[in-house]
């Protein structure tokens, strides 16, 4: 016969501690968005910390840098597509951001 399973207990999510003060501030801002309190001081969210947290998550893509009007070589685009496994538009954007220099573009991609 089948053994009886113990009742499922409430399992809290394991939250890893933030590594830096900026990470802790961002985590606090995000946590305060979910908190529901009657205290008016808790209702105010540090907008700057929330923006940094969103940017850290990659959600703020609207603030892209202005791309320079640089002519890129098709061979350089093909090189980045093959070696870094990027799409052609991403490779072209990366090359334009690095003045069309494939070596600088690869270094920037790897260090980012």
Domain total for the chain?
2
In a domain, 94, yes or no: yes
pLDDT in tens, 18-57: 567 777 777 777 777 766 655 545 445 677 777 777 777 7
26/51 same-domain check: yes
Which pTM does this prediction carry?
A: 0.43
Q: Which domain holds residue 51?
A: 21-57
In a domain, 95, yes or no: yes
49/78 same-domain check: no
pLDDT above 80 for 111: yes
Question: Given 3-state DSSP classes, what are the helix, strand and coil percentages for the chain, each rounded to the nearest 5?
Answer: 55, 0, 45
Mean pLDDT rounded to a whole number for the chain:
75
In a domain, 88, yes or no: yes
């Amino acid at each position: 016969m089948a053994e009886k399973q113990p009742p499922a207990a409430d399992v809290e999510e394991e939250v890893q501690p933030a590594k830096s003060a900026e990470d802790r501030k961002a985590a606090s801002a995000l946590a305060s968005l979910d908190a529901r309190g009657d205290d008016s001081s808790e209702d105010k969210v540090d907008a700057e910390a929330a923006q940094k947290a969103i940017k850290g998550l990659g959600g703020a893509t609207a603030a892209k840098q202005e791309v320079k009007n640089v002519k890129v070589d098709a061979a350089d685009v093909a090189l980045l597509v093959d070696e870094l496994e990027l799409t052609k538009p991403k490779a072209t954007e990366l090359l334009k951001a690095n003045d069309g220099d494939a070596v600088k573009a690869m270094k920037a991609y790897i260090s980012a």
